[in-house]
Amino acid sequence: MRNIVLIGFMGTGKSTVGKRLAQALAWDFVDTDCEIGEVTNLTVTEIFRRHGEKRFRSEESIVVARLSQLEHIVIATGGGTVLNPLNWEALANNGTVIGLHASLEAILRRIGHKNDRPLLKGPKEEIEKLWSERQRCYAQANFMVDTSEKNIDEVVNEILDRLGRSVNNEFRGVAQD
Ligand code: S3P
């Protein structure tokens, strides 16, 4: 298996699940937002504030291009990473893309009160619009897991189960469901 790439809206659990999944597989874990932070020496919020979203997206693409060359890592992307088709292609070419889904209610419950996401600062209607617009993109993943009402263990186990099935099916040449 190549890399595992977690995509999905903010607050769907990509980083938390990614860390646990990496542990379970004894793979390294990488978070694109953290990588951007290390390269630029700025937090995501600072990059947005000082340089704007365009600069953030450009740093994000550089990080994605580098990580896509690696193997056996679990990558947690930022919620907007795969909206850029070039990022999607680079990640999908060398990894299984897993979409984490959560209802807007679950997302707001988890992170609505936190102030560290520049794109979640607007009114609920704006967040809902962004969430709705992006669903079609995330749904292009190899498979989706709904995290809304599940704890981390349940999500990780579901992913491992699905991956196990995929690997076995590939091995046997059986069509995947
Ligand atoms: C973003 C999601 C954030 C971060 C940035 C932009 C987005 O990552 O990359 O604030 O466009 O959805 P998380 O999904 O990890 O919160």
Closest CA to 97 of 61, 145, 60: 145
104 in a structural domain? yes
Domain count for the chain, please give it: 1
> What is the end-to-end Cα distance of the chain in Å, rounded?
18
Using the atom order of ligand 1, give the atom closest to the CA of residue 33.
9
173 in any annotated domain: no
Give the pLDDT mean for 133-158. Answer: 97
19 Cα to the center of ligand 1, angstroms: 17
Q: What's the CA gap between 128 and 26, in Å, rounded?
A: 36
| Other CB atoms within 10 Å distance of the CB of residue 61 | 16
Nearest alpha carbon, ligand 1 atom 12: 79
Residue whose CA lies nearest to ligand 1 atom number 8: 78
Q: Is residue 133 part of a domain?
A: yes
User: If we measure between CA atoms, which residue out of 135, 76, 141 comes closest to residue 107?
Assistant: 135
For 53, the domain range is 4-162
Residue 107 covered by a domain: yes
For 37-71, write each residue's pLDDT tens digit: 999 999 999 999 999 999 999 999 999 999 999 99
pLDDT value for 116: 78
Q: Are the CB atoms for 98 and 5 separated by under 8 Å? A: yes
The number of the ligand 1 atom at minimal distance from the alpha carbon of 119 is 10
pLDDT at residue 1, as a whole number: 59
With a 6 Å cutoff on the Cβ, whether 120 touches ligand 1 is no
Please check the confidence at residue 172 and state whether its pLDDT lies above 50: no
Q: What is the pTM of this model?
A: 0.93
Say yes or no: CB of residue 119 within 6 Å of ligand 1.
Answer: yes
d(CA 13, CA 107): 9
Any domain includes 52: yes
Give domain status of residue 60, yes or no.
yes
Q: Look at residue 69 in the predicted model and tell me its pLDDT.
A: 95
Please tell me the residue having the least CA distance from ligand 1 atom 10.
117
Whether 174 maps to a domain, the answer reads: no
Q: Would residue 168 count as lying in a domain?
A: no
Q: How many residues does the chain have?
A: 177
CATH number, domain containing residue 13: 3.40.50.300
pLDDT in tens, 100-125: 999 999 999 998 767 778 888 888 89
Amino acid 174: pLDDT: 41
Which ligand 1 atom sits nearest the alpha carbon of residue 120?
A: 10
